[in-house]
């Protein structure tokens, strides 16, 4: 059998290309009341939003750093730049986007995806959305898709009704931070009965060194409407810390359906501390498709609150932890109404000393009878230096439930590798085939361009690591 080899760092190609910083405004490092007021002034926000930011700052300063999950002791909040405004205004024409920013998104394939299969695209660069477009026929149906900063002013009544009502500034230290410094993100409103046939997409790119990105995504899908929303994220590698603490609030009304797909490909200096939640009303459905790559540390647990009778949730996720990474991910489901159902399929891969940790919560309230839920967690370790943990928490408030849970942790079989090599396949390709087969249930749930990206990321992670 061929000698096992290890390469220190994967070349992440287009994802690691760094643009020269060109910003119109950049806040000082750290976080003060003056910085919060300056961010709000830059955005020309209404008074209620400034008041919310200042209250969030108070809460942030009072709350301790979480100690129950990943090690955050090296995260120096005083050294993070919390707001970087690129030197451009938002455009609805791709040609008007500054050339260096446009080239970045060109390399990531954003315009091509838009031409082929998307109903609308938003592109955020550092702290602000720089490009936004949507098909005219959707506008005619009353669909709204714009950046959050514009929505605060143009759709103020809807934003005030929903903004940070599901994720509040009191939930934890980083939700308070988000409430204080949020910037950018997407606002989507789908009227009753409207089906959006093609996906909407937002792509978030953090270019500034030592900065944070705090986009807020708010989606409301009204009664019997449907939507597929795709989120992509990436950043180049730096030698200093970057922070991502976004928030996603999803409201799925009676009989509505939302699929929310994410591929996160942050660099290895990123602390990814995102919060995502969805409220599902009677007979509504949320589908999460999640791929987590990159980042030094991730703590991410998309949450479904099944509020209405007959509501359902499906979560399909893949995490790939390589050298120097601690990816603490999972999902939370709260069954708060009768006859609700949930399915959780979570897969993790760890290699080269990486640590993948699945942390899940399934809660059934006392009134939620006739609940059905299936949780399946599978972990694959590619060597004997990697780690994988599974911590599923199940809290059942009544006896009229049907709940199943299965967890598997294992390594790639040497016998399987040997068998494939005996058929003329190299050891590296044999391993890649097994990993691609392992993640196939996730890739088949993604649109073509993102399935290709997911496979490319897997190939990058496997590159040069045979053993």
Residues 6 or more apart in contact with residue 369 via CB below 8 angstroms = 338, 339, 398, 400, 401
User: Which of 30-39, 201-210, 404-413 is predicted most confidently?
Assistant: 30-39
> Which residue bears the tokens 């959006």?
196
Lowest mean pLDDT, pick from 222-236, 274-288, 381-395, 440-454: 440-454
List pLDDT tens digits, range 15-73: 555 455 545 567 788 899 999 999 999 999 999 999 999 999 999 999 999 988 889 99
| Secondary-structure breakdown of the chain: helix, strand, coil percentages, each rounded to the nearest 5 | 25, 35, 35
User: C-alpha angle with apex 131: 41 to 116, nearest 5 degrees?
Assistant: 160
Across the range 408-415, mean pLDDT stands at 82
Kindly tell me if the per-residue pLDDT of 369 is higher than 80.
yes
> Which residue bears the tokens 């009191």?
170
Query: For residue 53, what are the CA distances in angstroms to 45, 76, 181, 236, 248?
Result: 11, 21, 7, 29, 17
List pLDDT tens digits, range 322-346: 888 999 999 999 999 999 999 999 9
DSSP 9-55: S---GGGG--PPP-EEEEPPBS--HHHHHHHHHHHT--HHHHHHHHH
Helix (H, G, I), strand (E, B) or coil at 98: coil
Give the model's confidence band at 411: pLDDT under 50 very low, under 70 low, under 90 confident, else very high: confident
* Closest listed residue to residue 200, CA positions, set 274, 268, 143, 264: 143
Give the model's confidence band at 464: pLDDT under 50 very low, under 70 low, under 90 confident, else very high: very low
Helix (H, G, I), strand (E, B) or coil at 207: coil
Residue 251: both structure tokens together: 């409201």
Residues 6 or more apart in contact with residue 9 via CB below 8 angstroms = 268, 323
Three-class HEC string of 306-356: ECCCCCEEEEEEEEEECCCCEEEECCEEEECCCCCEEEEEEEEEECCCCEE
Contact 466, 430 (CB under 8 A): no
Q: Check residue 165 and give its pLDDT.
A: 98
* Closest listed residue to residue 169, CA positions, set 44, 53, 68: 53
* Closest listed residue to residue 125, CA positions, set 12, 275, 41, 236: 236
Across the range 280-295, mean pLDDT stands at 91
Average pLDDT value for the chain: 85
Q: Which helix (H) or strand (E) holds 186?
A: strand 186-190
Q: Which helix (H) or strand (E) holds 456?
A: helix 448-462
Radius of gyration over every alpha carbon of the chain, rounded to an integer in angstroms: 22
Domain chopping of the chain, boundaries: 23-300, 414-467
pTM for the full model? 0.88
Residues 6 or more apart in contact with residue 168 via CB below 8 angstroms = 175, 179
The residue ranking higher by pLDDT, 303 or 240, is 303
User: C-alpha angle with apex 104: 103 to 107, nearest 5 degrees?
Assistant: 80
Residue 255: both structure tokens together: 């009989």
Q: Exposed (0-12), middle (13-18) or buried (19+): which is 448, by Cβ within 10 Å?
A: exposed
């Amino acid at each position: 059998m061929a000698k096992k080899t290890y390469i220190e760092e994967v070349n992440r190609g287009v994802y690691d290309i760094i643009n020269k910083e060109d910003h119109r405004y950049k806040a000082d490092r750290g976080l003060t009341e003056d910085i919060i007021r300056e961010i709000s002034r830059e955005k020309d926000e209404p008074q209620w939003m400034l008041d919310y930011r200042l209250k969030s700052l108070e809460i942030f300063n009072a709350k301790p750093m979480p100690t129950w999950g990943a090690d955050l002791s090296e995260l120096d909040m005083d050294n993070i730049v919390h707001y970087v405004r690129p030197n451009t205004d938002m455009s609805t024409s791709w040609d008007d986007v500054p050339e260096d920013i446009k080239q970045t998104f060109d390399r990531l394939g954003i315009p091509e995806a838009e031409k082929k299969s998307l109903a609308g695209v938003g592109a955020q660069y550092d702290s602000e959305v720089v490009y936004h477009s949507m098909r005219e026929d959707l506008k005619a149906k009353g669909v709204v898709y714009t950046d959050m900063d514009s929505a605060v002013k143009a759709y103020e009544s809807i934003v005030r009704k929903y903004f940070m009502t599901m994720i509040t500034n009191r939930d934890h230290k980083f939700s308070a931070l988000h409430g204080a410094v949020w910037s950018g993100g997407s606002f989507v409103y789908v009227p009753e009965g409207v089906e959006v046939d093609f996906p909407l997409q937002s792509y978030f790119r953090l270019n500034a060194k030592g900065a944070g990105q705090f986009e807020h995504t708010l989606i409301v899908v009204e009664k019997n409407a449907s939507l597929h929303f795709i989120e992509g994220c990436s950043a180049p590698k730096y030698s200093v810390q970057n922070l991502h603490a976004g928030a996603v609030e999803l409201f799925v009304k009676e009989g509505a359906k939302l699929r929310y797909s994410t591929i996160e490909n942050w660099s290895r200096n990123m602390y990814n501390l995102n919060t995502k939640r969805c409220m599902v009303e009677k007979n509504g459905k949320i589908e999460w498709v999640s791929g987590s790559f990159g980042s030094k540390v991730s703590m991410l647990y998309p949450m479904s609150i099944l509020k209405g009778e007959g509501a359902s949730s499906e979560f399909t996720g893949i995490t790939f932890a390589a050298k120097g990474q601690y990816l603490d991910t999972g999902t939370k489901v709260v069954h708060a109404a009768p006859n609700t159902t949930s399915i959780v399929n979570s897969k993790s891969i760890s290699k080269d000393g990486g640590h993948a940790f699945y942390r899940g919560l399934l809660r059934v309230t006392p009134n939620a009878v006739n609940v059905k839920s299936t949780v399946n967690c599978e972990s694959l370790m590619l060597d004997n230096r990697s780690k994988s943990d599974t911590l599923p928490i199940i809290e059942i408030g009544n006896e009229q439930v049907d709940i199943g849970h299965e967890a598997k942790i294992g390594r790639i079989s040497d016998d399987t590798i040997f068998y494939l090599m005996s058929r003329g396949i190299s050891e590296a390709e044999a391993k890649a085939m097994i990993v691609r087969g392992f993640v196939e249930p996730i890739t088949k749930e993604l649109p073509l361009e993102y399935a290709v990206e997911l496979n490319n990321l897997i190939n990058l992670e496997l590159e040069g690591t045979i053993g």
